[in-house]
Structure 1
Amino acid sequence: MSSFADICKVYGKILGGNPQIIDGTCFVFLFRNVPTTILGQETRSPYVQSFAFSFGSLDCRGRSLNTSESGMFEGEVNSFVRSYLKNNVSIAAMHKHWIFDRPSIMYIHAQSIENPIRFALKAREALQTLRFRKFQSAC
């Protein structure tokens, strides 16, 4: 059986980021560096177009709670959400964080209880629907 740290490393590799374990939770953060303005001011803040994925402790069947928050352009939302839904990943919330942002960015929260590697594969498939797929890792 693989250790939690080993599973976290594979999870990060699938998503294309550097995983971190904090308080028993595996996190992977990705960022896009696409020009965006908020209140007319250009920003390249990682908070604006960030993608966060995580999973926690595994149950006896190797499943965990998987969560994600993904910031994307409005025109990317439908295909991204469709990808998650066809793979039985629940959409928990869809909303904006910023007002007066250009282009307009929406944030999608998703969740599932399943093997984290399966979730990472589903998340990667959803990420592949985005127009701008050049990501940077947090570390």
Structure 2
Amino acid sequence: MGSKRKLCQEFARILKGEGSITPEGVCLVQRFRNIDFEILGRETQSPLVNPQFFTFEGLDRCGNALNLGETVLLEEEVNPLLTELRKRDILVTSIHNHWLFEEPRAMYMHFESVEPPLDFARKVRAAFKKALCI
């Protein structure tokens, strides 16, 4: 478990988030965007509104894992991030909203790959830097 913990911490460092290993053995990295949203006219900083989550699990003997990601986006950030993730062979699987009556419009993007987790982390970081300047 020590080498997986070390890999998870490096995954988290690259993604600039907090990493932990769940009881099921999934490496989970969390971070939260600093976007001021209102829902139903009320300001919110809820972690349900501003999340970025990244995971990997099922590391095989070749070093590949199932890598998953989710991020909140402003409406105008959707296409630039979609383009940058696709350029890096990361599959975008969903773009949707979670809330009604929010300002500004909050969209959520899910993406995935099967590859070495650190490769996924580096690709995601580069895509975010290029598309979102973060």
Count, aligned residues:
131
**Greater RCO, CA 8 A, separation 6+:** 1
TM-score, length of structure 2 as denominator length: 0.93
CA RMSD of aligned residues (A): 1.2
Aligned pairs for 1:81-92 (under 5 A) are 81-92=82-93
Which stretches in structure 2 are left out of the alignment for 5+ residues? none
Matched, 1:8 2:8: yes
Q: Which runs of 4+ in 1 moved over 3 A?
A: none
TM-score, length of structure 1 as denominator length: 0.90
1:3: Cα distance to partner? 1.5
1:32: Cα distance to partner? 1.5
Task: Say which structure is richer in helix.
Answer: 2
Aligned pairs for 1:13-32 (under 5 A) are 13-22=13-22, 23-32=24-33
Query: Any idea what SS the aligned residue of 1:75 has?
Result: helix
Query: Any idea what SS the aligned residue of 2:132 has?
Result: coil
Which stretches in structure 1 are left out of the alignment for 5+ residues? 134-139
Instruction: Output the CA distance in 1 between the equivalents of 2:74 and 2:17.
Output: 21
% same residue: 38
1:69: Cα distance to partner? 0.8
